[in-house]
Amino acid sequence: MTQITDENTTTPITEDTDLQNILDQAQETQDTKSQELSLEELQAKIKELESKLADAEAITKKAQSDYIHMKFDFDSYMRRNEESAKTAKVDTLVDVVKKFTPFIDGLRQSLANIPDEQRDDVLVQGVQMVYNKFISSLEMMGIQKIESLGQTPDIELHEAVSALPVTDETQKGKIIQEFEQGFIYDKGDIKKVVTPAKVVIGQ
């Protein structure tokens, strides 16, 4: 029996060998090589895509970080502007009210010096109504009277104009008399003295 060996295969060929089988084996070998080549190309493509994805994720993270910092800076800027505007508004209000405090305190002192028997007088009651209206209007704007009598002096709120001897030990170092009413703006997170209270300290 004659044997023929194909140069691309090790399969012995006999006269009875089906030529179609040889062709099929050769095609399978070629297909396998093509598949191996395609797999390598696919793996390379996957690595390339993974690299691009990693780069995109890095860019996204940086963009998110930049956005957060930018938003924080913008919010801080807006907050500072709002605080500045609010402070400027309060400063203007305080400056205006400060011009009226001597008049308001004049009314207070006048009422304090009226004898009890004259307090029912229509004129006195009219002055009292005007004074009360002033105080009510100030309170609506956030301006309060500074409490003084019986308090320990506060250099931010009180201005000592005199000191008087006292027999009551509990009154020593305390405010025993209010010479002039003080006012303070106290609303929200802003506090600002309009005029300090002028007081007399017990000693």
Q: What does the domain layout of the chain look like in residue ranges?
A: 53-202
- H/E element holding 66? helix 19-112
pLDDT in tens, 84-122: 888 888 899 999 999 999 999 999 988 988 888 888 899
Which residue(s) pair with 13 in the sheet? 4
- Which residue pairs from 87-90 have beta carbons closer than 8 angstroms and sit at least 24 positions apart in sequence? 87/190, 90/185, 90/190, 90/192
Query: pLDDT digit string (tens) for 115-157?
Result: 888 888 998 999 999 999 999 999 999 999 999 999 999 999 9
Query: By C-alpha distance, which of 139, 140, 125, 135 is closest to 103?
Result: 135
Fold of 53-202: Nucleotide Exchange Factor Grpe; Chain A, domain 2 (2.30.22)
Dihedral of the CA atoms 69, 71, 77, 78 (nearest 10)? -160
pLDDT digits (tens, 9 = 90+) for 28-78: 665 555 555 577 778 888 888 888 888 878 888 887 887 787 878 777 778
> C-alpha 87: how far from its chain's center?
16
Cβ-count burial of 185 within 10 angstroms (0-12 exposed, 13-18 middle, 19+ buried)?
Answer: buried
Instruction: Give the Cα separation of 71 and 193 in Å (integer).
Output: 35
